[in-house]
């Protein structure tokens, strides 16, 4: 009987595959004059968008830019203008990747763009609420939503504080903080941090649930339902 023990054990070793290591996503820290915000990026869901974003990080584009559009309980938007509201030069636009199953929910990070779907460059925004009207619904320009490519894993309290600052209209630009919220430094973390608080992966969007009523609301929505550059 003993001669069958070794083959039996070898059979056990072959039958059980090794467990795959968990995916490690890149993380970027935005150090602002109100505190730090760390976001996790999802290149598996938005590869072109993440590559584009990391190019801006590596060439220090974001340093010295501000969160120039702030709406409490909606979004904070930045990454393109200086404290003097001067627009910084950008790379060519990146194709939209909004139909990737990620939603504009609290803490999600997405690309700002014009009315043209493939127009995102450097500007991004952080969702302060579950902004369903910013999600992808159909392959029509007005219903394609905004590409979500990351999520805040630390510093959501800072993002909310930024959302609460007093704002003003400057040279026709609304919702500009009275005191500049400056991005002072941006760092690609060598060692990812553990997310703080209750954290879950971004859930897929239920694309099939859109109705005609939702379509009408999207087309006639207020400024709080749209993200513009």
Confidence bin at 20 (pLDDT 50/70/90): low
Task: Please identify, in words, the CATH class of the domain defined by 22-219.
Answer: mainly beta
- Collapsing DSSP to helix, strand or coil, 111 comes out as strand
pTM: 0.82
Candidate from 10-24, 26-40, 97-111, 115-129 with smallest mean pLDDT: 10-24
In which region does residue 75 sit, left (phi positive, over 0), alpha (psi from -120 to 50) or beta (all else)? beta
Residue 95 or 194, more confident: 95
CA distance 132 to 104: 6
Do 119 and 70 meet the contact criterion of CB atoms below 8 Å apart?
no
Segments making up each domain of the chain, as ranges: 22-219
pLDDT the model gives residue 12: 41
Residue 11 has pLDDT above 80, yes or no: no
CA distance 117 to 115: 6
Candidate from 44-48, 114-118, 199-203, 218-222 with smallest mean pLDDT: 218-222
Do 197 and 156 meet the contact criterion of CB atoms below 8 Å apart?
yes
pLDDT of 141-169, one tens digit each? 999 999 999 999 999 999 999 999 999 99
Give the residue carrying structure tokens 């007093």: 166
pLDDT of 103-138, one tens digit each? 999 999 999 999 999 999 999 999 999 999 999 999
DSSP-derived pairing of the beta strands 124-127 and 148-154: unpaired
Residue (of 71, 219, 213) closest to 144 by Cα position = 219
Question: Average pLDDT of 25-43?
Answer: 97
């Amino acid at each position: 009987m003993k001669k069958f023990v070794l083959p039996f054990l070898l059979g056990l070793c072959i039958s059980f595959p090794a467990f795959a290591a968990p995916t490690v996503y890149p993380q970027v820290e935005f150090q602002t004059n109100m505190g730090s915000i760390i976001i996790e990026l999802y290149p598996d869901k938005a590869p072109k968008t993440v590559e584009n974003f990391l190019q801006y990080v590596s060439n220090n584009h974001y340093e010295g830019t501000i969160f120039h559009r702030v709406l409490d309980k909606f979004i904070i938007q930045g990454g393109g203008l200086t404290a003097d509201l001067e627009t910084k030069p950008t790379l060519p636009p990146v194709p939209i990747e909004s139909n990737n199953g990620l939603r504009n929910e609290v803490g999600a990070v997405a690309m700002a763009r014009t009315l043209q779907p493939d127009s995102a460059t450097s500007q991004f925004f952080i969702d302060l609420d579950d902004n369903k009207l910013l999600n992808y619904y159909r392959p029509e320009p007005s219903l394609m939503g905004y590409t979500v490519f990351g999520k805040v894993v630390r510093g959501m309290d800072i993002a909310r504080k930024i959302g609460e600052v007093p704002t003003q209209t400057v040279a026709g630009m609304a919702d500009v903080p009275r005191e500049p919220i400056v991005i002072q430094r941006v760092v690609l973390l060598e060692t990812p941090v553990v997310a703080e608080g209750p954290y879950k992966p971004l859930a897929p969007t239920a694309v099939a649930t859109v109705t005609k009523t939702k379509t009408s609301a999207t087309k006639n929505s207020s400024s709080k339902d749209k993200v513009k550059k």
